[in-house]
Structure 1
Amino acid sequence: MILSVIIPASNEERWLGACLAALVASDPVAGGAEIIVVANGCRDRTAEVARAAIPAAAAAGWSLTVIEREQGGKPAALNHADRVARGEVRAYLDADVTVSGPLMAGLVQALGAREDAAYGSGRPRVTARSRLSQTYARFWARLPFARSTAPGFGLFAVNRAGRARWGEFPTIISDDSYVRMLFQPHERIEVPAPYDWPMTEGFAALVRVRRRQDAGVAEIAARWPELLANEGKPRLGAGGVLRLAAGDPAGFATYAAVSLAVRAGRDRGTWARGR
């Protein structure tokens, strides 16, 4: 069973090399595996970094295709790659994510064993460099969504029947949330192998990304309200918030400050990398 790993990459030269190196160092995938990098609207060396990884990928038994598109836009990049992908299992991977060795083979095994539609991911490990982002990430990672089964941020995969749940990716802010909510909680599989997912750095960036997250959820609620029933995360409630705050006062204060700044500001429609 062939695995196709699709990586949309816009100005990701700083992160893409590590992402690809971790992929090709993964455990072997029965049936073979291919990587499709779509460098979309790049103004840096993203495509060169991807092409430089072709020899190492080939030596490890991976096919690596690099596609360059002048236009930006993640959904368009995903759709372009999907049209040339060969895999029965499709994994969609952010260019700044690094997978652990067993993860991709584990996803193929888990999803390939299902004839019905299935969605899968690994267990994310949220990373950060600065003290501020570490504090925010520590609290964020304890929220119900982040602790739910196969939350899928940064990496999600589907089997053939699962990919048939939708046609082309719509033009949308949060493609990962959209796909995740096409599946009911019992259709989601979490492989125990982890992957590293970097939190964005700095207060202003955290506010921009949080604002974009909120806009993505609001967009899904407006366009596909029926999907919200598939969210599947437990309600936190006031008591739950108090327990989290008591367990991590600094994390709560940082998270609350970002939340207040999001509500006080206005979305200027600018793209923000990261979370």
Structure 2
Amino acid sequence: MISIVVPAHNESSVIARTLSQWVGKPGSDELRVVVVCNGCTDDTANIARRFGPTIKVVELETPRKTHALNLGDQVANIFPRIYADADIVITVDAILALARRLNEGDVLAVAPTAEINLAGCSWLVRKYFGIRSRLPSSREGIGGSGVYALSEAGRRRFGQFPDVTADDTYVRLQFRREERETLACVRSTVFAPRTLLQLVTVRTRAYRGTFELARRFPELRANKGAANNWTLVTLFKEPRLWLGLLIYCWVNIAARCYATRGGRPGDHLWQRDETSRMALPNSIK
């Protein structure tokens, strides 16, 4: 058996897309899904309940992802345990593959490789992700794919999820490189922001999360992955990539500058891109 914890804050536009991959499919009887609706003011909980007894729905008044993760841990009592964002798509087969890898026992945390869905995105956003796909960070699933899986021993590595912005990065840094793995043959679909402004917003939040972790948990820096800097320098040797590189660098410089200005009231709540949650005619169901 495998447990899946899905924190969900006002995800009525996408929660059915996520859950429909796990209900009524071959192998879905192996899954026990807990959807933690935190601070929802929309129909997320009712939509999730329509999927039947396979999906357990619990509700929390506080709109904080880490609180939802902690409540999900209290309800879920099975390992391996998958933590999945409510706006991504991952199949039952992919989840079973993550669990099999953990059951081999030589790693404590695994994740799929992110497949970025760029449907409806501006060409500037497409250029950005064209460069990102060439960087080492794009091959780090915990913090990039919207999904990660922990063995029971892996989950014991830390206590409750602390109230941080970058919960997935916090989890990744609990493990040395040889203790975690991103599976190249297992994919999750992540939906990119459709406008450059929303992309800068998302990246600003990511930098704030990184800065927060460095300040509060400096000892975790020892488990960081490979940096992008040297790869970026080598990419500048290819003139055909210059436009994309300029866009990539501008987005991250702007986001870093915004992030260093400090948070605003409410920044501890979920800040997320809404454009990627808008339905498209040919989007994944």
TM, length-normalised to structure 2: 0.84
SS at match of 2:137: coil
Residue 213 to residue 25, structure 1, CA distance change in 2 (3 Å): farther
Of 96, 102, 113, the residue aligned with 2:87 is 96
* TM-fit CA distance, 1:267: 5.0
Question: Does 2:131 match 1:110?
Answer: no
Question: Which amino acid is 1:157 matched to?
Answer: A
Of 182, 190, 194, the residue aligned with 1:201 is 194
- 2:280 alignment counterpart: none
* TM-fit CA distance, 1:87: 1.1
Residue 64 to residue 148, structure 1, CA distance change in 2 (3 Å): closer
- Bigger CA drift: 162-171 or 204-213? 204-213
* TM-fit CA distance, 1:133: 2.5
Gaps of 5+ in 2: 277-285
- Bigger CA drift: 206-215 or 89-98? 206-215
- Contact 1:3 1:108 survives alignment (8 Å): yes
Count, aligned residues: 264
Q: How does 1:9-158 map to 2 (within 5 A)?
A: 9-24=8-23, 27-28=26-27, 32-54=30-52, 63-114=54-105, 118-128=108-118, 129-131=120-122, 132-148=124-140, 152-158=144-150
* TM-fit CA distance, 1:126: 1.1
* TM-fit CA distance, 1:82: 0.3
- 1:165 alignment counterpart: 157
- Contact 1:200 1:273 survives alignment (8 Å): no
How many Å separate the matches in 2 of 1:264 and 1:219?
Answer: 15
- 2:282 alignment counterpart: none
- 2:279 alignment counterpart: none
* 1:123-167 deviations in Å (ceiling 9; x for gaps): 110122212322222222322211246655400010000000011
- Contact 2:89 2:190 survives alignment (8 Å): yes
- Contact 1:127 1:137 survives alignment (8 Å): no
Question: Which amino acid is 2:137 matched to?
Answer: F
Residue 259 to residue 41, structure 1, CA distance change in 2 (3 Å): same
Percent identical residues: 31
How many Å separate the matches in 2 of 1:37 and 1:151?
Answer: 20
How many Å separate the matches in 2 of 1:164 and 1:117?
Answer: 13
- 1:223 alignment counterpart: 216
- Bigger CA drift: 180-189 or 166-175? 180-189
- 2:250 alignment counterpart: 257
Residue 37 to residue 150, structure 1, CA distance change in 2 (3 Å): closer
Question: Which amino acid is 2:149 matched to?
Answer: A
How many Å separate the matches in 1 of 2:16 and 2:243?
Answer: 34
Question: Which amino acid is 2:214 matched to?
Answer: A
- Contact 1:124 1:195 survives alignment (8 Å): yes
SS at match of 1:14: coil
Residue 149 to residue 66, structure 1, CA distance change in 2 (3 Å): closer
- 1:213 alignment counterpart: 206
Residue 70 to residue 148, structure 1, CA distance change in 2 (3 Å): closer
Gaps of 5+ in 1: none
Residue 235 to residue 209, structure 1, CA distance change in 2 (3 Å): closer
- Bigger CA drift: 191-200 or 226-235? 226-235
